Amino acid sequence: MAIQFTLDAQEREVGGKGAARRLRAEGWTPAIIYGKRESSISIFFNTNEFLKLVHSESYENILFKVKLKGQKGKDLPSVVIKEMQFDPTKGKLLHVDLFEVSMDKTIEVHVPVEAVNESIGVKDEGGLLDHVAREILIECLPDNLPERIEIDVTNLKLGDAIHIRDIVFPPGVKPIESPDKVILTIIHKLKVKEELGAKVPEEEQVPEVLTQKSSESAEGE
């Protein structure tokens, strides 16, 4: 079942770069809801409260009910996050794109893959579990949106692989990628060392720098 939260928000009447900067300075995040209605809805919400909700989850598989201030008794929009935009230097949340969904229509979403248990290939044969793909693109109704796809790797031996066709998906969930796509495999540690050594000489290896996705367009909201 989908992870569901209520998102308390207010509608925005004033747009532009200056208004968006003032909202962020006061602890709010500007956002936009689009998809189902004829026109999009510009909103803002408390940044810290929002980040608490998405901190420990894959944000694409969270279903939000947006509770707009002053609109009691009206239907609450059901939305999923399409994109979160961050400042490239400070890492602060700049803007969120939300997509409104119909509860009776399917959506396409990437969900994370999680390996469960320890495989024979790792435990007894000296192999390594290689996550070839961390997510799978699926189609389902919003209520059937899974938190993650769990794959039991207990019986995987050295050289074995799990393809999409091998996975048993929850009821109502359909993968829409190639059934031949490899998700997990057990590889030999020696092979990994040889490949790393061939690609990057030891004296030239440098730490990998991770950066968050950013968007200059968010400054214009």
**Top-level class of domain 107-201:** mainly beta
Selected residue with higher pLDDT from 167 and 3: 167
C-alpha 11/C-alpha 141 separation (Å) is 27
What per-residue confidence (pLDDT) applies to 218? 52
Whether the predicted pLDDT of 149 surpasses 60: yes
Q: What is the mean pLDDT of the chain?
A: 84
Radius of gyration of the chain (CA): 21
**Top-level class of domain 3-101:** mainly beta
What per-residue confidence (pLDDT) applies to 70? 72
Domain ranges of the chain: 3-101, 107-201
As to burial, measured by CB atoms within 10 angstroms (0-12 exposed, 13-18 middle, 19+ buried), residue 164 is: buried
Whether the predicted pLDDT of 10 surpasses 60: yes
C-alpha 139/C-alpha 126 separation (Å) is 37
Across 34-38, 110-114, 175-179, 195-199, which has the greatest mean pLDDT?
A: 175-179
pLDDT digits 0-9 by tens, 69-103: 877 656 678 999 989 999 999 889 999 999 999 98
